[in-house]
Chains A and B, each alone.
Chain A
Amino acid sequence: MRYNKITDEIVAGLKNIVGPSNVVLDPEKLGVYAGDEVPEAEWKHLPEVVVKPENAEQVAEVIKLANREMIPVTPRGAGTGLAAGAVPMLGGIVLSLEKMNRILEIDKENLFMVVEPGVTTGEVQQRAQEEGYFYAGDPCSADSSFIGGNVATNAGGNKAVKYGTTSRHIYGMEVVTPTGEITTLGGKCVKSSTGYDLVHLLVGSEGTLGIVTKVYLKLLPRPLHNAVLLVPFADMQTAIDIVPKIMTNGGIIPTSIEFMDNLCIKSAEGYLNRTLPYGDAGAYIIIEVEAYTESQLEADFETIGNICLENGGLEVFVGDNKSSQEKIWKARRYLAEALRVTSPVYCMEDIVVPVSNIPRVLAEISQIAEKYSVKIPCFGHAGDGNIHACLLKGNMDDAAWYAVKEKVLDEMYTVTHTHGGKLSGEHGIGAKRKKFMARFTDPVQLKMIKAIKKALDPNLILNPDKVIDVD
């Protein structure tokens, strides 16, 4: 066994570093840190101890101690992950960043916000807005997720079509390395061709290459007006075909282009207890556009709406004020909850494929669903090819569920891979998809990833058992 167990001495050492009140040993309280939002028991594991450092120096000291004593350290944000990335699969220390939750600076001259990792994404958005700016990162869990976790998973969300994923908004970070050194990568420079881009090596590294203790976030001018369109289509192919047309024929990059298949529409109707317009449609597309003037907004949504109508849209509904927008988004936003009501246990995937392949992949997923007699409602981000395929357990017993899940996932990933796609668009690999990562990644790339991990984390202390197995 590579790692050691936590001893009383180690606990004393940790208390010495972060203070006794920031060390959690109470078994009941440890339960909170055993998992993330992946519901199944196989992705829960109790840590031996939780520490809550309050600054980068304390983080560094904890890491040094862990290296000396050979204890695994699992960094943790808000625990809203969907890949079991923050689960301490091997026990050891969970290093929770919940106490490092300050907004440190709003730099209006350079348009940056500097924050600690434990600030929620929602707070960043809100604060930016209060100051008259806009933070474009917007994962669907924004209300609860931490910025640190967004960086670790390269979180995406609804607005990635126009603004990209989290990596696009991160220009610098202070990081504690796996050996316990503190350094600042990048910063407030907008350009940099100065050596390796370590900032973006760390973004999406799921806590395996360092612990982010400070983040430099880019702020943008705030778009003043927005509108949301809801467009039902007879079938998914026609619906997805609209995506490139909006950008090429229309010359407009919407903020979001989301889709829902009919299973999702029906779930939303059931959950919201109302009939949605064209509820029998094969697919819904929800498009959000932003503009700096009202007339520009009107012109844009009219252009997009007309393209939809000319290309098979059954109707175009427009929400250009708060109440109508709320009503449209509601169907999409409550979807995860709606599916959970249908089936409390489910397996939510976030495969990503080139946009044009969405219909093909969805068609093959529905064949898989048929083959195994399961339900796999699909929704997600049409504008960036990110598909949330949601395998429902329904009233299957546990044994059947595990058997079917393995087969379905295997086939689903194979389909994805065949169509030029990737396992995860925004949730990450974590522990949950590690097995598949090894299978569906080019061996040369695997070699590079392992070499980087070994070079930075020689003792393999940081978030072990995630993403790939190193030896």
Chain B
Amino acid sequence: MNIVALVKQVPGTDNVKMNPETGTMVRTGKDNVINPLDENALTEALRIKQQTTGTTVTAVSMGPQTAEKALKEAIALGADEGILLSSRAFAGADTIATARVLAAAVKKLENVSMILCGERATDGETGQTGPMVAAMLGIPVVTFVKEINVGENTAIVIRIVENGYEKVEIPYPFMATVVKDINEPGFPTLSGKVQARETLVKVWSEEELGLPKNELGLTGSPTRVVKIFSPKLARDTRILKHDGSGNAVGILVKLLQEKKRNCIKGCGK
């Protein structure tokens, strides 16, 4: 079975800093990492590979040339191959224009039984690309997946929904977007790192994918960002010191009982 893991390179977000003047994110290329949930997707692909003989895992990423690093990391973690979808024509793509490129790449790979990706990326946070790719390929999709059990012709997956879990049986080929509960990503090994260094990452542009330029990048994106602004984060905070007198909690409880909030209801007295 061939599994494709879609991985996106994102800025390491644990220390996101904003430029207060421009309202833009201060990015340093150095801290780029694989989108954490995509790493879960890759880990799941590798787990299935270990479990089922003859399985290959291909990591696919759309991004600038520097995203090669994410693919090398995927190979170091155990992926057999990395394919970078990179072209100037892809720049500025929204989710649908991105999905077009990813779907075309999966089509070109042939005989893919399963496509896995994170339920969302930590930078764009839309969570749209996975289902869009599935729709374009005309294959079934399960979203928010926390467990995959592979069988002969179908897989049984469990997805997390608002008030519980849903168990679904789904035939190959299918797309699954995963949540972080699904597994615990491992560490790349030294031999994996050496393997990654020696493995050539293929680069495909719109030519290899046979895509018309007008459907790609900013030109091919139906949506446009028209304004970016800083959210009003600050509230009028009232700080109370807990000094053992009981005053702090007393004041808090009074505020919560106020009619407009009515958070703590007594018996109506």
Contacts and interface: CB of A to CB of B under 8 A. Distances in A.
Nearest to B34: A323
A180 to B, nearest CB: 36
A306 B34 CA distance: 26
Contacts of B39: 323
Contact of A324 (B30, B187, B190, B197): B187
A229 B189 CA distance: 9
B73 A321 contact: yes
A277 interface: yes
Contact of B187 (A28, A302, A318): A318
B contact residues, range: 20 to 34
A323 B32 CA distance: 9
Nearest to B193: A318
A2 interface: no
A309 B190 CA distance: 10
B32 A316 contact: no
B186 interface: yes
Interface string A313-326: 00111111111101
B188 A324 contact: yes
A191 interface: no
Given A321-B32, A322-B14, A322-B31, A274 B190 contact: no
Interface string B144-187: 00000000000000000000000000000000000000001111
A323 B189 contact: no
Interface residues of A, number: 26
A318 B184 contact: no
A380 interface: no
Nearest to B39: A323
B12 interface: yes
A232 to B, nearest CB: 11
Contacts of A321: 12, 31-33, 69, 73
Interface in B128-149: none
Given A298-B197, A302-B194, A322 B33 contact: yes
A281 interface: no
Nearest to A274: B184
A323 B186 contact: no
Contacts of A302: 190, 193-194
A328 interface: yes
B60 interface: no
B76 interface: yes
Contacts of A316: 189-191
A306 B190 CA distance: 8
Nearest to B244: A28
A322 B12 contact: yes
A324 B42 CA distance: 14
A315 B189 CA distance: 7
A323 B190 contact: no
B189 A318 contact: yes
Interface string A323-345: 11011100000000000000000
Interface in A229-248: 229-230
B82 interface: no
Interface in B1-26: 12, 14
A317 B12 contact: no
Given A318-B76, A321-B33, A321-B73, A277 B190 contact: no
Interface of A: 28, 224, 229-230, 274-275, 277, 298, 301-302, 305-306, 309, 315-324, 326-328
